[in-house]
Structure 1
Amino acid sequence: MTEYVKSKRGVKSLVFHLGLLAAVVVIIYPFLIMISGSFKTDLEMNRAPLRIFPQDGTVDNYRTLFISIPFVRQFFNSTLVAAAYAALSMLFCSLVAFGFTRFERFTGKKILFSLILTTMLIPSQVYMVPMFQMYRAFGFFGTYLPMLIPAFTNAFGIFLIRQVMDQVPRELYESAVIDGCGELYIYSRIAVPLSVSGLGILVVLNFMANWNDFMTPLIYLNKEAMYTLPIGLMRLQNFYKVTYGAPLAGAFISCIPVIILLTVVGQKYFIRGLIAGAVKG
């Protein structure tokens, strides 16, 4: 009986790991195609788009990428905007979340938090036109402000950080108050350090979302020098010219900052932050 149980567990483990291996292949294969395509000529890309190893490897696609568009400038623009968005979102979401967790009772607390969560149910397409009219009236058209202002009202970020901060022992707050510490000191020295896991995952998610954002810069940016990478890579294609190598080369380079961020921050905080945000509701 014992051998049968062990054999059954071994079969389940084998099937489970084979399933994981299949999932990894499905996820990684398109990424390998992207890297391979960045070294292929357009002719080879048309003939054998799914071939992993190019027969006639070339680096002309990377040369074309840097010649056709101001890639370095647009890479810097994307990095600056995404980093600023992630930092602002982390700051304001943590401040709002600290208010919800630190002050247990104030009038309309549950209603206010419910209204914040309700905004997550509204599709972004619904308020796209009103926001455009508002930003244009404020004179923000042609600037990065329409891409940064949403960081002040990130409902998901508020929800996530509140779930994490809600696990901080109340005794720490009370001890700090007895010692004469102000609320700003409690926020910066107690709440934030003990919520690093949630803040880390919020930074990663917001950086990735803003880095990959295509619609917002397409609507509000009107100068090539201010374009972010998604818009710049789009301009490599037009109705009269269809090429694959240069856009794939740009896409590959644009993945590097996200990979570095996931490696540095994600490995340490991503899983821990997800679990921490799901423990207590």
Structure 2
Amino acid sequence: MTAVTSEPTAAAEPNGRRVERAPRPTNRRGRPGRPNGARTALYTVLVVLSLLIVLPLLWIFLTSFKSDFDAIKNAAQPFPSPWTLDAYRTLSNGQQPIFRWFLNSLAAGALQTVLILVTASMGAYALARLDFVGKRLVFGAIIATLLVPPVIFLIPNYLIVQQLGWLDTIWAITVPGAAGAFGIFFLRQFFSGLPVELEEAARLDGAGDWRIFLQLVLPLSRPALATLAVLSFLNNWNDFLWPVYVLLSPEHLTLQPGLNVLSGAYSTHFGIVMAGAVIASIPVLVLFTVAQRQIVDSVASAGVKG
């Protein structure tokens, strides 16, 4: 939204006379606003990008209401003809424990998210504020693990889980990824941007490291913690390869490998698969809606220091 400055500007012509010019449009902060053409082009690009993101989701949703025949014959037609709930009825008839997979994924995602927040916040605070021998070396080693492809850890993690007797349990899909380098790096950068004066004032009042960490640093870091929680949950929720290796019983599967079971060896029921995808997207949309404010605050504070 643009506003017009209250005082017009004046300029001198070659003959020495001063000529009043029209005021420049400014935004709410008093800065020059964008021309209408640039604003229109920007909004057009944003609308196109939004459609590119929303249309595949809408296509999945509409296909879930198609019959198998309609999904194959009229694949290019977005709207079902006729509308049917057969796919959702098939998922709810108990032949495939999709709701058990759904609960398994929720439990695994929530547990791993809590573990990541605990380990990453403590490690990040130690690297951001505490002084100890080899601090930079430890931080460099942690960052170096980000350059290693995750698939390299597949066999070592599997052998460890097997030796611990965690195969086909929830611990197998939560504990191995509970101390990731990304979470430590992400929170360490955020903690480093917090004002040191607040912690110094707390120390003058007699607070120790644990009290400062729990009652001062963590409350101030709520946007960063919420962002890391969303990313951690989504990473576990969308994980497909690792659960396939460590979860052996059909009733212990999570939702992503479970949805693969819905595709038969010789045929694919597209309506059922899309209905399962719709169910799988519900927690993601709810989580993002709830944490959207915190995520925006985290991104906005990333460029603010002091």
- Residue 194 (structure 1) aligns with: 220
Q: Could you tell me whether the CA contact under 8 Å between 1:65 and 1:247 is conserved in 2?
A: no
- Residue 100 (structure 1) aligns with: 127
- Residue 233 (structure 2) aligns with: 207
Q: Could you tell me whether the CA contact under 8 Å between 1:42 and 1:245 is conserved in 2?
A: yes
Gaps of 5+ in 1: none
- Residue 157 (structure 1) aligns with: 183
Deviations 1:198-217, CA, capped at 9 Å, x for gaps: 00100011111111111111
Whole-angstrom distance in 1 between the partners of 2:186 and 2:153? 23
Matched, 1:57 2:83: yes
- Once the two structures are TM-superposed, the CA of residue 279 in structure 1 deviates from its matched residue by 5.2
- Residue 272 (structure 1) aligns with: 297
Deviations 1:166-200, CA, capped at 9 Å, x for gaps: 12222222222222222221111001000011001
Percent identity between matched residues is 32
Letter in 2 for 1:137: Q
Q: Calculate the aligned-residue CA RMSD, in Å.
A: 2.1
Whole-angstrom distance in 2 between the partners of 1:235 and 1:153? 30
Q: Which of 157, 160, 170 is the matching residue for 1:144?
A: 170
TM-score (norm 2): 0.85
Whole-angstrom distance in 2 between the partners of 1:92 and 1:186? 17
- Once the two structures are TM-superposed, the CA of residue 2 in structure 1 deviates from its matched residue by 6.8
Whole-angstrom distance in 2 between the partners of 1:276 and 1:153? 25
- Residue 19 (structure 1) aligns with: 45
Query: Which fold has the larger relative contact order, with Cα–Cα distance below 8 Å and residues 6 or more apart in sequence?
Result: 1
- Residue 121 (structure 1) aligns with: 147
Q: 1:4 to 1:93 in 2, by over 3 A?
A: closer
- Once the two structures are TM-superposed, the CA of residue 135 in structure 1 deviates from its matched residue by 1.7
Matched, 1:73 2:100: yes
Q: Which of 112, 119, 137 is the matching residue for 2:138?
A: 112
- Once the two structures are TM-superposed, the CA of residue 275 in structure 1 deviates from its matched residue by 4.0
Q: Could you tell me whether the CA contact under 8 Å between 1:161 and 1:198 is conserved in 2?
A: yes
Paired residue secondary structure (1:106): coil
- Once the two structures are TM-superposed, the CA of residue 3 in structure 1 deviates from its matched residue by 10
Q: 1:2 to 1:135 in 2, by over 3 A?
A: farther
How many matched pairs? 278
Q: 1:277 to 1:156 in 2, by over 3 A?
A: farther
Deviations 1:16-72, CA, capped at 9 Å, x for gaps: 111111111111111011000000011111122232321211001001112231122
Whole-angstrom distance in 1 between the partners of 2:225 and 2:98? 30
Q: Which of 237, 253, 256 is the matching residue for 1:230?
A: 256
Whole-angstrom distance in 2 between the partners of 1:48 and 1:118? 50
Q: 1:4 to 1:106 in 2, by over 3 A?
A: closer
Q: Could you tell me whether the CA contact under 8 Å between 1:161 and 1:277 is conserved in 2?
A: no
Q: Going by fraction, where is helix more abundant, 1 or 2?
A: 1
Whole-angstrom distance in 2 between the partners of 1:221 and 1:61? 26
Q: Could you tell me whether the CA contact under 8 Å between 1:165 and 1:194 is conserved in 2?
A: no
Q: Which of 54, 67, 71 is the matching residue for 1:28?
A: 54
Q: Could you tell me whether the CA contact under 8 Å between 2:157 and 2:176 is conserved in 1?
A: no
Stretch deviating more after TM superposition (12-21 or 26-35): 12-21
- Residue 44 (structure 1) aligns with: 70
Paired residue secondary structure (2:265): coil
Q: Could you tell me whether the CA contact under 8 Å between 2:115 and 2:179 is conserved in 1?
A: no
Paired residue secondary structure (1:141): coil
Letter in 1 for 2:301: A
TM-score (norm 1): 0.92
